[in-house]
Amino acid sequence: MRRNIQTMQSRVASLGARLRPHVKTAKCIPIARMQQAAGAAGITVSTLKEAEQFFDAGFDDILYAVCVTPNKLDTVLDLLRRGCRLKVVVDSVTGAQAVARKSQAAGIAIPTVIEIDTDGHRAGVKPEAEVLIDIGRALHDGGAQLYGVMTHAGASYAENTTAGLQRIAEQERSLCVRAAERLRAAGLPCPEVSVGSTPTALSARSLEGVTEVRAGVYVFHDLVMCNVGVCTPQDVALSVLATVIGHHVEKGWVLVDAGWMAMSRDRGTQAQAVDWGYGAVCQVDGSLMPDWLMSGANQEHGIVSRRDGAIPGDLAQVFPIGSQLRLLPNHACATAAQFSDYRVLGPDAEPRTWERFNGW
Amino acid sequence: MRRNIQTMQSRVASLGARLRPHVKTAKCIPIARMQQAAGAAGITVSTLKEAEQFFDAGFDDILYAVCVTPNKLDTVLDLLRRGCRLKVVVDSVTGAQAVARKSQAAGIAIPTVIEIDTDGHRAGVKPEAEVLIDIGRALHDGGAQLYGVMTHAGASYAENTTAGLQRIAEQERSLCVRAAERLRAAGLPCPEVSVGSTPTALSARSLEGVTEVRAGVYVFHDLVMCNVGVCTPQDVALSVLATVIGHHVEKGWVLVDAGWMAMSRDRGTQAQAVDWGYGAVCQVDGSLMPDWLMSGANQEHGIVSRRDGAIPGDLAQVFPIGSQLRLLPNHACATAAQFSDYRVLGPDAEPRTWERFNGW
């Protein structure tokens, strides 16, 4: 994890941008502090609970990167009044008007970022859309603080070549910068240009015009990121320690006490080049057993079997009851969310526990 | 939920068996108390944390229905010493020997149930396997308490006709009873015969020879159970309240603030007759909108769209930003696990909060 943090920080800094890590992956104060110590500037959150928890822990520069709704603006105002430099996001005139009205009513110009759609993946307005300027005006003229534009190239998860990743990264950069330029050309302020996803952040060749990069899952990495091509299994810093509870010898199944409750139901590698089922299998020391995978999952039962479907005769000897395995996750954000704390293996080999939180 | 509890309790009682609800679905003390008040005898758990939490809340008759491993036996002994009538499960001679050795060493005969495989679904020994008697002897002669046999017809989830469900239920019953008879014929005790799953419990026509039935998800029901055919969407007692955060008008998408973090990544209806994506869409009052579904999910973003792919022109009017929807889960166990408490809508319409717990 330390190496992952350092790699991302160096990369973004070398391209001249600030890094604003997305803390939704780990939801863990000590981990965010390590990111901050490495040079991160502010954090990104996916819920207002994250904003509250991290602000209470001393993080005061926070971007809440999911479009805000009217029923959440009282919590936003509360955080702003307490000194949090919170930024919210909108992608519609309706949303902008709600923020502007709340700003006026409260006498606090809520810092607001406009979400730009650079790949048709999810939310945001197209950089060339007329409504972009309308949203900017609704914010700026309505009493909110137009803080900038942001985008997330979710489509990068579908790439798995350097050329493809570089293309999406450049598309993300250039279209978000274009949106900022259009706002500025209309006489509106747009100081911040925020882009990011782990795949594009690790692939971009230029961040010209970009002020900050957001990325989250890189802190742990996972099997989906391995398939995308931005890490290897050796970089994956999150695993689930499971114990063998039995065997189904005729089927070649090793049963372990980690099911989907531990791994999550995320099957993110299903449509990728290498399908890892519910997870990759390692020995306790982290050595990958590439011929094996977690092929099935019930709530508290996992099924480990060979990728090629072969049925070894010595299953119960190789994986005796009570022995342990380390399982790597498809999607670190989803697997981590199944736990309330991390057992941390530090350089001194002294295990310790770091809390995380969940919920809203 | 009250009706679901009553229906299951009446059904199992009418067939002459006790009901031992599986509390892994809700992990909620007040809900288990409602099941107990309705007539349940004991509870089933999937983790030792559940055993500890429910024992601390006054539940003392507990079956831990996942094969136990040597590294968990100290916790088991601790619960037994504190007065918990805990039963553990094994399905191998190795597992049985470990429990017997621990029983002898502690001077406490650990009550142990042998898991029977009645459908090839997961764990357990075949009812006709010679090793069944070996396991029984290893327990009984080794110093543990051979308490009975148990099975779970996980294959019932793949059925969707009354005839198919009745067939699996009868297979589950008859093969588990057969295992008990074989143990008894070998001179071993086998007082308990425990079977169950929600689909078979609601479909069995006879429970002859069965002493208790285990079922869990019926307490909430879900879309998977609707497809199996043992409930309707109106029976689903768990939903996620989401707020509209935006639209992708050209794609016909309504974006809501509930993604997979709220719904879970469970896609249990994917291979069933009706695929509900990540969930069914209801109005706030619970009225199903059958033409809509949650077709996509990111961590904190859900995509709601029409099942037929049509792109309504009035999307933003029908689903205005800030309006709310109620989403029904594919799999109640998985969705509930994403939350730390339930907002309970009682008969008096006074919302209250009931805690649940997660983790191990």
In a domain? residue B350: no
**Domain at B39, CATH number:** 3.20.20.10
Q: Return the closest-CA partner of residue A173 out of A191, A197, A190.
A: A197
Residues of B with CB below 8 A from A91's CB? 246
Contact A271/B at CB under 8 A:
no
pLDDT bin (cut points 50, 70, 90) of residue A119 is very high
For residue A95, CA distances in Å to A46, A180, B122, B324 come to 17, 19, 50, 15
pLDDT for the residue A122 = 84
Q: How far apart are CA B12 and CA B212, in angstroms?
A: 8
For residue B65, CA distances in Å to A46, A132, B133, B266 come to 36, 56, 20, 22
pLDDT bin (cut points 50, 70, 90) of residue A347 is confident
| Tokens 């306790």 belong to residue | A284
Q: How far apart are CA B211 and CA B75, in angstroms?
A: 27
Mutate to test the interface with A, among B47, B125, B300 (most CBs of A within 10 A): B300
Residues of B with CB below 8 A from A244's CB? 69
For residue B291, give both structure tokens: 């033409």
Q: How far apart are CA A145 and CA A106, in angstroms?
A: 13
Q: Return the closest-CA partner of residue B52 out of B81, B10, B95.
A: B81
pLDDT bin (cut points 50, 70, 90) of residue A272 is very high
* Environment class of B58 (CB within 10 Å of its CB; exposed 0-12, middle 13-18, buried 19+): exposed
**Cα radius of gyration (chain A):** 22
Q: Return the closest-CA partner of residue B290 out of B276, B300, B303.
A: B276
Q: Report the share of chain A in percent with pLDDT over 90.
A: 97
A206 and A279: one domain?
Answer: no
Per the structure, the count of domains in chain B is 2
Whole-angstrom distance between the N-terminal and C-terminal Cα of chain B? Answer: 26
* Environment class of B360 (CB within 10 Å of its CB; exposed 0-12, middle 13-18, buried 19+): middle
Q: What is the DSSP letter of A67?
A: -
Q: Cβ distance A60 to A83 under 8 Å?
A: yes
A39-95 pLDDT, tens per residue?
999 999 999 999 999 999 999 999 999 999 999 999 999 999 999 999 999 999 999
Contact A129/B at CB under 8 A:
no
In a domain? residue B232: no
Q: How far apart are CA B295 and CA B253, in angstroms?
A: 9
Whether residue A348 has pLDDT greater than 90: no
Residues 6+ apart with CB under 8 A from B44: B20, B21, B22, B23, B24, B62, B63, B65, B214, B216
Q: Which of B67, B245, B260 sits opposite A69 (nearest CB)?
A: B245
Q: How far apart are CA B256 and CA A223, in angstroms?
A: 27
pLDDT for the residue B13 = 98
Residues 159-218 of B with CB under 8 A from A: none
Q: Cβ distance B28 to B356 under 8 Å?
A: yes
- Using DSSP bridges, classify how beta strands B240-248 and B324-328 pair: parallel, antiparallel or unpaired: antiparallel
Q: Report the share of chain B in percent with pLDDT over 90.
A: 97
**Domain at A320, CATH number:** 2.40.37.20
pLDDT for the residue A150 = 98
Q: How far is A240 from chain B (nearest CA, A)?
A: 12
B264-309 pLDDT, tens per residue?
999 999 999 999 999 999 999 999 999 999 999 999 999 999 999 9
Q: Is A353 helix (H, G, I), strand (E, B) or coil?
A: strand
Mutate to test the interface with B, among A44, A50, A116, A245 (most CBs of B within 10 A): A245
B201 and B320: one domain?
Answer: no
- Residue type for A258, please? A
In a domain? residue A249: yes
* Residue range A113-139: mean pLDDT, rounded: 96
Q: Alpha-carbon dihedral of residues B61, B65, B68, B71, nearest 10 degrees? A: -70
Question: What pTM does this model have?
Answer: 0.96
* Residue range B322-339: mean pLDDT, rounded: 98
Whether residue A357 has pLDDT greater than 90: yes
Cα dihedral sign, B303-B305-B309-B315: negative
Q: Return the closest-CA partner of residue A97 out of A74, A122, A70, A115.
A: A70
Whether residue A161 has pLDDT greater than 80: yes
Whether residue B151 has pLDDT greater than 90: yes
**Cβ–Cβ of B300/A24 closer than 8 Å?**
yes
A213 and A240: one domain?
Answer: no
For residue A237, CA distances in Å to A111, A225, A333, A355, B235 come to 35, 12, 12, 16, 42
- Residue type for B235, please? D
Q: How far apart are CA B244 and CA A66, in angstroms?
A: 11
Beta-bridge partners for B243: B324
Domain span at residue B110 reads 2-224
In a domain? residue A225: no
Work out the mean pLDDT of chain A and round it to a whole number: 97
Residues of A with CB below 8 A from B246's CB? 67, 91-92, 95, 123
A136 and A162: one domain?
Answer: yes
Q: Is A328 helix (H, G, I), strand (E, B) or coil?
A: strand
Whole-angstrom distance between the N-terminal and C-terminal Cα of chain A? Answer: 26
Q: How far apart are CA A31 and CA A40, in angstroms?
A: 12
Beta-bridge partners for B148: B113, B192
Whether residue A11 has pLDDT greater than 90: yes
B219 and B248: one domain?
Answer: no
Q: How far is B318 from chain A (nearest CA, A)?
A: 14
For residue A78, give both structure tokens: 């509360």
Q: How far is A167 from chain B (nearest CA, A)?
A: 23
pLDDT bin (cut points 50, 70, 90) of residue B63 is very high
For residue A319, give both structure tokens: 């994986």
Q: Cβ distance A103 to A109 under 8 Å?
A: yes
* Residue range B115-120: mean pLDDT, rounded: 95
Whether residue A349 has pLDDT greater than 80: no
B142 and B269: one domain?
Answer: no
B34 and B141: one domain?
Answer: yes
**Cβ–Cβ of A69/B244 closer than 8 Å?**
yes
Whether residue A346 has pLDDT greater than 90: no
Cα dihedral sign, A154-A5-A359-B320: negative
A24 and A115: one domain?
Answer: yes
Q: Cβ distance A136 to A191 under 8 Å?
A: no
Buried b (16+ CB within 10 A) or exposed e, B133-158: bbbbbbbbebbbbbbbbbbbbbbbbe
pLDDT for the residue A121 = 84
B275 and B320: one domain?
Answer: yes
Cα B261–chain centre separation? 20
Whether residue B346 has pLDDT greater than 90: no
A84 and A212: one domain?
Answer: yes
B136 and B93: one domain?
Answer: yes
* Residue range B215-240: mean pLDDT, rounded: 98
B160-211 pLDDT, tens per residue?
999 999 999 999 999 999 999 999 999 999 999 999 999 999 999 999 999 9
In a domain? residue A246: yes
In a domain? residue A178: yes
Whether residue A221 has pLDDT greater than 90: yes
B10-62 pLDDT, tens per residue?
999 999 999 999 999 999 999 999 999 999 999 999 999 999 999 999 999 99
Q: Cβ distance A321 to B92 under 8 Å?
A: yes
pLDDT bin (cut points 50, 70, 90) of residue B131 is very high
In a domain? residue A248: yes
Q: Is A271 helix (H, G, I), strand (E, B) or coil?
A: coil
Q: How far apart are CA B223 and CA B236, in angstroms?
A: 8
**Cα radius of gyration (chain B):** 22
Give the chain B residue whose CA is nearest to the CA of A67.
B245
Which of the listed residues B224, B259, B276 is the one where a domain comes to its end?
Answer: B224
Work out the mean pLDDT of chain B and round it to a whole number: 97
Whether residue B348 has pLDDT greater than 80: no
In a domain? residue B212: yes
**Cβ–Cβ of A359/B337 closer than 8 Å?**
no
pLDDT for the residue A51 = 98
Q: Return the closest-CA partner of residue A215 out of A254, A169, A280, A275.
A: A169
H or E stretch including A288? strand A288-297
**Cβ–Cβ of B337/A339 closer than 8 Å?**
no
| Tokens 């530090």 belong to residue | A346
Q: Which of A70, A301, A338 sits opposite B322 (nearest CB)?
A: A70
pLDDT bin (cut points 50, 70, 90) of residue A181 is very high
Q: How far is A306 from chain B (nearest CA, A)?
A: 16
- Residue type for A104, please? Q
Q: How far apart are CA B116 and CA B118, in angstroms?
A: 6
Q: Return the closest-CA partner of residue B242 out of B318, B328, B338.
A: B328
Q: How far apart are CA B54 and CA A283, in angstroms?
A: 34
B210 and B306: one domain?
Answer: no
